Structure 1
Amino acid sequence: MLKKLSIAVAIAALSISAQAQTATPFYVGADVGSTTIDSLSGDKTSYGAFAGYKFNQNFAAEVGYRHLFKVNVGPVSADVTQASISALGIIPVSKEFQVFGRLGYNNNKVSTSVAGYNISANESGALYGVGVQYQFTANVGARLEFQKPASDTKNYSVGVTYAF
């Protein structure tokens, strides 16, 4: 009886340690990139953060917030941010390398300041994108991505992810 109990305790201990070595489906990340607007010349620096849940190896859901760009033209200053929710379809190419597609909904907020007056406007719509991710470890990955947050806007970014 004691021998069977010892074996059961050993198996339970091994399964707990095996579970501790794998990442959970929750992850967070941050990125930096470049935003291009059709009506503006030059690329603008962007940065953002996101959090997600990976349901399985082929599907995840993410929420994100990104500062798309800030521009000053004479006395006019415009600041554009993006809040989004997306579904990701994931194709594992290897254990470490994944290709993903993004389809979601986003709200782009434009805050403008002209001679001390502040004006803001929102535009909501579809968000789509494609990207690749490389997992260095079960917890840490790197990502390259292209997003289209509006019909006249493109964003390219590089970021890191951390699963906990």
Structure 2
Amino acid sequence: MKKYLLSLALIALLIGCSKPEPVYKPPTNEQITDYVYSNNLDLEDSIWTNDSAIILLNNSLITLYADQQGKIYDQKMSWGANSSDPVFVGDGSPFIAIIINENLLSSGADRILVTYTNGKSHSRGITGKKGYLIPNTETSEVDNIIILDNDGEELYRKRE
């Protein structure tokens, strides 16, 4: 009987000492700013998703999230430089990252038009920087991406 009670006490102690699963949440604006400055990053764009923040650089994407104690975690994804075509990262749900090359920028690229499989679209102005993150709160994926000049002329089209 003593062995049985000792075993139960040991199991209860082990269960009581186990760490709860961490709960991740998006970092605060201050945490993002600290991360960018402390890592000397040249930020192209950033957005928040449900449980993280996405930072876009010229050739990489960083996902930031925080635990209950405020500790910041990051996941990085990089890609090689491509000067002939824009670079697209993601399928549009919850975001798509678009890196525009110098050729399109010098051709007068003015606007990005993204059309989703559910028929909705999102338009975003090009401000001279190369990278743009376009969030999508729905589950639909990108169907079509068009880059237009300031006259509405199509400079680039990609169908998914």
Same fold (TM over 0.5): no
**Relative contact order higher in (CA < 8 Å, ≥ 6 apart):** 1
Structure with more helix by fraction: 2
From the CA coordinates, give the structure whose radius of gyration is larger: 2
